[in-house]
């Protein structure tokens, strides 16, 4: 990654050590203080130009390289994402508005994201339109010079605390279901929007149902063109699937295990230590896949299949490493602070790993995307021959 990224890692680690409690396991726990820690830390990062490091200076960043931004992602996720929900605005909402938003939308939305002042949620999945997103039924009907939006979204993370929603709705019925879809940028304060939390083992704030009852939208709320939402969403999903460096937390926990266990490490069965070593290898593989996709994104050549290949590898890593770490944590006996933190961190990681192969598109859909790309490439080679 280079010297600049290495220096940035050191700066971030010092900030985390100084500003984030050592037992922090994420912003969305039952303790409101954890969310407060994340919001405060995001503002500290923003003041130093680190929250949106790779953003252009005119949009609130510091013009850092994509590799420096990747280093930020890795350091944040390795330490249980002390930016809280800000990664959504930083990784893909903001960059998408840069590419497709009007100058007015850019002036309105980008500075608050860069300052860490606003939380976004994503209005994509519906009760009968999860993996098949293009079949969604939330409708935006013409109403004078604007629209009235009605429908339901589900599994919407952070909806109860978000100020804005990146919403995909149908504005016309076309021959292909991927056509006639439009992206709207909507304030969650609209009285026509109702949020109902969905309780789960992931804890509060993560999952919600969101109901839209005649919500008013104007031309100024449309991102891109009317009916042109599907290509925007495909681009968003590619960035979202790569934007979370899940492998970084897996690798940090795996590397911490021998030191935390100390003399107990020798009590591990040989087979378990072998699986531990295999997981470290898989971490490096996922990291290299991520770097390949980041490089392709930087050159404008990334495809959904590239992101799908990485997503398959990293979500399987999440679950497989969670299983191995859970077995290892059983040997971290004793009530030293380090072992207590390790057991809690492993339990948290394993719990979230259960949802890894469903979030941002199921792993089955990622395999279909990848298979289609591979089969299509082979077909082109045969035709050319």
- Higher-pLDDT residue of 244 and 15 is 15
- Higher-pLDDT residue of 121 and 314 is 121
Lowest mean pLDDT among 78-92, 193-207, 270-284, 297-311: 297-311
With respect to residue 238, please indicate whether it lies within any of the assigned structural domains. Answer: no
Three-state secondary structure of the chain = CCHHHHHHHHHHHHHHHHHCCCCCCCCCCCCHHHHHHHHHHHHHHHHCCCCCCCCCHHHCCCCCCHHHHHHHHHHHHHCCCCCCCHHHHHHHHHHHHHHHCCHHHHHHHHHHHHCCCCCEEEECCECCECCCHHHCCCEEEEECCEEEEEEEECCCCCCCCCCEEEEEEECCCCCCCCCCEEEEEEECCCCCEEEEECCCCCCCCCCEEEEEEEEEEEHHHEECCCCEHHHHHHHHHHHHHHHCCHHHHHHHHHHHHHHHHHHHHHHCCHHHHHHHHHHHHHHHHHHHHHHHHHHHHHCCCCCHHHHHHHHHHHHHHHHHHHHHHHHHHCCCCCCCHHHHHHHHHHHHHHHHHCCCCCCCCCHHHHHHHHHHHHHHHHHHHHHHC
Highest mean pLDDT among 46-55, 56-65, 187-196: 187-196
Q: Write down the pLDDT at residue 180.
A: 96
Q: Does 149 lie in the same domain as 43?
A: no
Q: Is the pLDDT of residue 175 over 70?
A: yes
Give, to the nearest 10 degrees, the angle between helix 229-243 and helix 270-298: 140
Q: How far apart are CA 326 and CA 102, in angstroms?
A: 48
Q: How far apart are CA 267 and CA 247, in angstroms?
A: 26
Domain final position from 74, 97, 118: 118
Q: How far apart are CA 290 and CA 310, in angstroms?
A: 6
Q: Does 315 lie in the same domain as 267?
A: yes
Domain final position from 118, 144, 172: 118
Q: How many domains does the chain have?
A: 3
Q: Which domain holds residue 348?
A: 245-380
pLDDT, the chain, mean: 89
Q: Does 250 lie in the same domain as 341?
A: yes
Highest mean pLDDT among 42-51, 242-251, 269-278, 299-308: 269-278
Q: Is 213 exposed, middle or buried (0-12, 13-18, 19+ CB in 10 A)?
A: middle
| Section 205-209 average pLDDT | 82
Q: Write down the pLDDT at residue 383.
A: 52
Report pTM: 0.85
| Section 33-54 average pLDDT | 92
| Section 31-55 average pLDDT | 91
Lowest mean pLDDT among 75-89, 193-207, 322-336: 193-207
Q: Is the pLDDT of residue 2 over 90?
A: no
Q: Does 363 lie in the same domain as 273?
A: yes
Indicate which CATH number applies to the domain containing 153. Answer: 2.40.110.10
Q: Write down the pLDDT at residue 187.
A: 98
Q: How far is CA 225 from CA 51, 145, 183, in A?
A: 29, 15, 8
Lowest mean pLDDT among 242-246, 269-273, 360-364: 360-364
| Section 97-126 average pLDDT | 95
Domain final position from 79, 96, 118: 118
With respect to residue 234, please indicate whether it lies within any of the assigned structural domains. Answer: no
- Higher-pLDDT residue of 81 and 354 is 81
With respect to residue 282, please indicate whether it lies within any of the assigned structural domains. Answer: yes
Q: Is the pLDDT of residue 385 over 50?
A: no
Q: Does 94 lie in the same domain as 27?
A: yes
Q: Write down the pLDDT at residue 377.
A: 61
pLDDT above 90: percentage of residues in the chain: 61
């Amino acid at each position: 990654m280079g010297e600049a990224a290495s220096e940035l890692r050191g700066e971030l680690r010092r900030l985390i050590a100084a500003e984030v409690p050592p037992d922090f396991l994420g912003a969305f726990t039952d303790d409101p203080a954890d969310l407060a820690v994340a919001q405060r830390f995001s503002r500290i990062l923003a003041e130093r130009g680190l929250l949106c490091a790779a953003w252009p200076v005119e949009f609130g960043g510091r013009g850092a390289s994509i590799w420096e931004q990747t280093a930020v992602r890795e350091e944040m996720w390795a330490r249980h994402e002390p930016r809280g929900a800000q990664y959504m605005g930083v990784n893909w909402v903001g960059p998408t508005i840069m590419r497709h938003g009007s100058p007015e939308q850019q002036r309105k939305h980008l500075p608050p994201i860069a300052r860490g002042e606003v939380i976004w949620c994503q209005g994509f999945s519906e009760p009968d339109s999860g993996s098949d997103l293009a079949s969604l039924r939330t409708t935006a009907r013409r109403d004078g010079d604007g629209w009235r939006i009605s429908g339901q979204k589900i599994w919407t993370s952070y909806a109860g605390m978000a100020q804005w929603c990146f919403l995909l709705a149908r504005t016309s019925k076309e021959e292909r279901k991927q056509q006639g879809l439009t992206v709207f940028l909507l304030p969650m304060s609209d009285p026509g929007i109702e949020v109902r939390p969905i309780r789960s083992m992931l804890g509060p704030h993560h999952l919600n149902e969101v109901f839209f009852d005649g919500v008013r939208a104007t031309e100024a709320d449309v991102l891109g063109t009317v009916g042109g939402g599907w290509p925007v969403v495909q681009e968003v999903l590619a960035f979202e699937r790569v934007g979370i460096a899940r492998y970084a937390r897996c690798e940090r926990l795996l590397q911490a295990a021998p030191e935390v266990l100390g003399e107990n490490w020798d009590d591990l069965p040989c087979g378990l230590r072998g699986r531990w070593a295999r997981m470290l290898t898989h971490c490096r593989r996922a990291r290299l896949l991520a770097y390949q996709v980041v490089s392709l994104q930087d050159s404008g050549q990334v495809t959904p299949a590239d992101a799908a290949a990485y997503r398959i590898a990293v979500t399987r890593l999440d679950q497989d490493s969670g299983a191995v770490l859970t077995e290892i944590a059983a040997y971290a006996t004793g009530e030293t602070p380090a072992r207590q933190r390790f057991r809690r961190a492993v339990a948290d990681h394993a719990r979230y790993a259960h949802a890894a192969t469903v979030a941002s598109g199921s792993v089955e859909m990622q395999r279909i995307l990848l298979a289609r790309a591979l089969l299509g490439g082979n077909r082109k080679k045969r035709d050319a021959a």
